[in-house]
Amino acid sequence: MDRGISDMKGQHRYRRRTGITFALALPASHSGRRLECDSTYVAMATPADSSPAPHVLVVPCPAQGHMLALLDLTGLSRGLRLTVVATPATAPQLAPLLSAHPDGAVRALTPPFSSHHSVPAGVESAKHLPPALIVAFADLRGPLLSWARARADGPDRVVAVLSDFLCGWTQPLAAELGVPRVVFSPGAVCGTAVLQSLFRRMPRREDERDDDSPIALPDLPGAPVFPWRQMSELYRTGRSGRATTSPRARWRGR
């Protein structure tokens, strides 16, 4: 019964590629703060007419294995105007992307990073404090909502949100703006598919004391089975119907 990730990859030839996962729109409170934007941004017109190109808000997760991958994808954009969110400490990582688009098609949005009781002053990257930083990053939802709404009736109107799968709070942000959210995953398609299956079906182990209890994923190719201990820690520690006021719930946008 112990068929692991390696078996699944071998049978179905999963390759490490950027994946698309899912998120649910969930309510949360928000507050407003002033945002600062790169002043070099200018409206970019589409070749076909004089109207501005579609404007997309890009929200990378401030973690080195996530942010750089999404910035690489952002650099491949064609015919779009992009606003990329960064903290003051991670903003320098946008320099190559901004210099590659001197026409102003890409700009940086650097909101002041809020203080958080679990995040030391000056820490703005998951490289230094992964779990707490990702939770604190969700506090940007309110300021970004205010920023986008202020542009809702003009040429800078946001038409979509592209964000890392760890930024679940951007799903309700996009819903409040009435625009779609596209989810970016820097991980393998296999891992992304497993997480999607888990959180949609919410299977539980038969014996709560058995870490080798088999968990079947019948909606994936080959209907793989994994031991409970190989499931995501976030999934293993969660409970269906649990109150969603915890920091982790806020990170997921609840």
Which residues are identified as catalytic? 66, 164
Phi-psi region of 13 (alpha: psi -120 to 50; beta: other; left: phi over 0): left
**Rounded distance between C-alpha atoms, residue 14 and residue 222, angstroms:** 12
Q: How many angstroms separate the CA atoms of 105 and 78, rounded?
A: 9
Phi then psi for residue 70, to 5 deg, are: -70, -35
Residue pair 217/8 in contact by the 8 Å Cβ criterion: no
Going by their DSSP bridges, the two strands 55-59 and 106-109 should be labelled as unpaired
Report how far apart the first and last C-alpha atoms of the chain are (Å, whole number).
35
